[in-house]
Structure 1
């Protein structure tokens, strides 16, 4: 009887284990269908799991590049808007200076023009101290304070850094996020210093005298050069924005390729998994039915 009892116990244990294994396999297939992934842990497919981790790290790094691209785009768009406003100011200054350069203008009219030029200069200084998307000086390079300061005599001087700084866009590509004050308004104290030239022009027109008309004529040359500088700066900003668009398009394509590879490596093959699940469920039902019939035979009842 001990041999018979042992055999009966082994039959039940083996049947229970087989049915439990089939149920576990069916539950696993159902879980794969539910989450759309066939790899839930590294042991399921060590090579595939390793590749998935690589793809996920690459995607995480790509998100950093996306953030940098968005910041650079925002700052460059702010720069482009400021340049457009500056161009409008310079065009208005050219109109006023052309009037002042005319020999028919009286001293009082030139003085009035000088006052308006002074007001526009103050607006340009405010524009030069615009803020970027992070609240730092837009034209101040990498400094956080004001790009320009004005002393008690009304002279404006640049306080920012020499470069605006680069932002990485991925794959070793970078973009300069903005322009510095000297690149737009000229070097402080240099021959192309727009703010200094406007102060000289406004002071000369308000003072009047024989030199006022000549100052206006000289101012026209300076303003024409300034407008050329602004146009060049707008071209530079536009090319940088186009570069960001190109890198963004490439990053999007790479992201789509990674997503496709993730699906190929770790994704669930719906058709194959459904077929396996149906097969497993059929075997499970057959095993349960067989176990029930065998356990119900009279021989087993007698042996027990």
Structure 2
């Protein structure tokens, strides 16, 4: 009997440490659960307050890297949009200028037809000449139009007047070439034509000069020839008008394309950064409930452990 009691006592003694270790493990896990609940609740609360899924890049390295890439894309897109708008502004000026050129040339051709009549006197032709000279001066003013401190038709020398008072290009710095605008990755666009194209190559100035000279000389055949030259100049300008329209359409398409890119990138960025507030609130309620349950369990385990220790 004595030996049997000793064996039972030994079994109880050997079982007690195992029970204490198990309780300690459960308590440790419970404390970990409480701590995780606190951290998760704090994280969700920050999301609700800031509206962001993370505050530091280290919180979500992969997502943060993607966000930085999207931000770079959006900054580039902003510059593309500014370039498109600048090109559109210059084209708008070019469009109104070609309209004005066409109107002036049409008036000049009308004068050539009138002055070519046998019933018109030399004095009347001199009066028409004065109007042609005024038209020519207006052409030079159109050629030297400015926008944002630069000459619209100045080509690569936009800081210099494209045409001199005589209606000629500068021999050293001719208004040739046109700036290109970067409107997308690897994409550029031309804006306005240069003064050489619009006023010299198109025969605008030359046809007016020819009519001016013929009227001053009372030269009827010369007046008729100048009228034909003016008709050709008008046709040349209309070709430029069509080109301006094509460039405007191209820029409009680029702007629409860039708007789609902006929207797509912004949505992707928002998915990575913006916290779904309603979802975060729902999760917070669940986490707080779980936290309270873990806290209650931990408190009971602590009380049990304390009682066992006092025994």
Q: Where on the TM-score scale, by shorter chain, does this alignment land: which range?
A: 0.7 to 0.9
Given the alignment of the two structures, is residue 254 of structure 1 paired with residue 261 of structure 2, yes or no? yes
Q: 1:240 Cα shift?
A: 0.5
Given the alignment of the two structures, is residue 276 of structure 1 paired with residue 283 of structure 2, yes or no? yes
2:18 alignment counterpart: none
Mean CA deviation greater in 230-239 or 21-30: 21-30
Q: 1:183 Cα shift?
A: 1.3
Corresponding residue to 1:51 among 45, 59, 66: 66
Corresponding residue to 2:86 among 63, 71, 80: 71
Tell me, in whole angstroms, the C-alpha distance in 2 between the residues paired with 1:146 and 1:12. 86
Given the alignment of the two structures, is residue 156 of structure 1 paired with residue 175 of structure 2, yes or no? no
Q: 1:76 Cα shift?
A: 0.4
1:142–1:161 contact (8 Å) kept in structure 2: yes
2:150 alignment counterpart: 136
Post-superposition CA distance 1:21-55 (Å, at most 9, x none): 53332121122233333132233322222212111
Q: 1:204 Cα shift?
A: 3.0
2:216 alignment counterpart: 206
Post-superposition CA distance 1:210-231 (Å, at most 9, x none): x2x1121011111101101111
Q: 1:287 Cα shift?
A: 4.1
SS in 2 for 1:273: helix
TM-score by length of 2: 0.81
- Taking structure 1 as reference, are residues 298 and 129 closer, same or farther at Cα in structure 2, changes over 3 Å only? closer
2:9 alignment counterpart: none
Corresponding residue to 2:120 among 96, 105, 108: 105
Tell me, in whole angstroms, the C-alpha distance in 1 between the residues paired with 2:58 and 2:141. 63
1:6 alignment counterpart: none
TM-score by length of 1: 0.83
Q: 1:295 Cα shift?
A: 6.9
CA RMSD of aligned residues (A): 2.8
Tell me, in whole angstroms, the C-alpha distance in 1 between the residues paired with 2:101 and 2:278. 63
Aligned length in residues: 282
2:21 alignment counterpart: none
Q: 1:156 Cα shift?
A: 1.9
2:39 alignment counterpart: 24
1:41 alignment counterpart: 56
- Unpaired stretches in structure 1, ≥5 consecutive residues: 1-10
1:227 alignment counterpart: 234
Post-superposition CA distance 1:172-229 (Å, at most 9, x none): 1111121011211124xxxx54223323322331343xx2x11210111111011011
- Unpaired stretches in structure 2, ≥5 consecutive residues: 1-25
Q: 1:13 Cα shift?
A: 11
Q: 1:12 Cα shift?
A: 11
- The structure with the largest alpha-carbon Rg is 2
Given the alignment of the two structures, is residue 167 of structure 1 paired with residue 174 of structure 2, yes or no? no
Map 1:285-304; keep pairs closer than 5 Å: 285-289=292-296
